A and B are shown apart, each in its own frame.
Chain A
Amino acid sequence: MDQIRKWRPFVGPFDPCPPIVIKAYVVPPNQFIPFQPPNWPQFSPAEALRRGTLWPALYSPYESRMLTGGREKGE
Chain B
Amino acid sequence: MSAEKKPDEAYYALLTELQQLDFVLVELTLYLDTHPYDMQAVQQFNQFAQRRRQVAQVFESRYGPLMQFGHSFSRYPWDWADSPWPWQV
Interface residues of A (CB under 8 A from B): 35-36, 38-39, 45-46, 48-49, 53-55
Whether B34 pairs with A48 at a CB distance below 8 angstroms is: no
- Set of chain B residues within 8 Å of A53, measured between Cβ atoms: 27
Whether B38 pairs with A45 at a CB distance below 8 angstroms is: no
The A/B interface has a contact count, at CB < 8 Å, of 31
Interface residues of B (CB under 8 A from A): 16-17, 19-21, 23-24, 27-28, 31, 34-35, 38, 40-41
Q: DSSP class of B's interface residues: helix, strand, loop or mixed?
A: helix
Docked Cα-Cα span, A54 to B19, in Å, equals: 13
Known: A39-B40, A54-B27. A45 touches B35 (CB 8 A): no
> Min CB distance, B51 to chain A, in Å?
9
Whether B20 pairs with A46 at a CB distance below 8 angstroms is: yes
Q: List 25 A-B contacts (CB under 8 A).
A: A35-B34, A36-B31, A36-B35, A38-B35, A38-B40, A38-B41, A45-B17, A45-B20, A45-B23, A45-B24, A46-B16, A46-B20, A48-B20, A48-B23, A48-B24, A48-B27, A49-B23, A49-B24, A53-B27, A54-B23, A54-B24, A54-B27, A54-B28, A54-B31, A55-B27
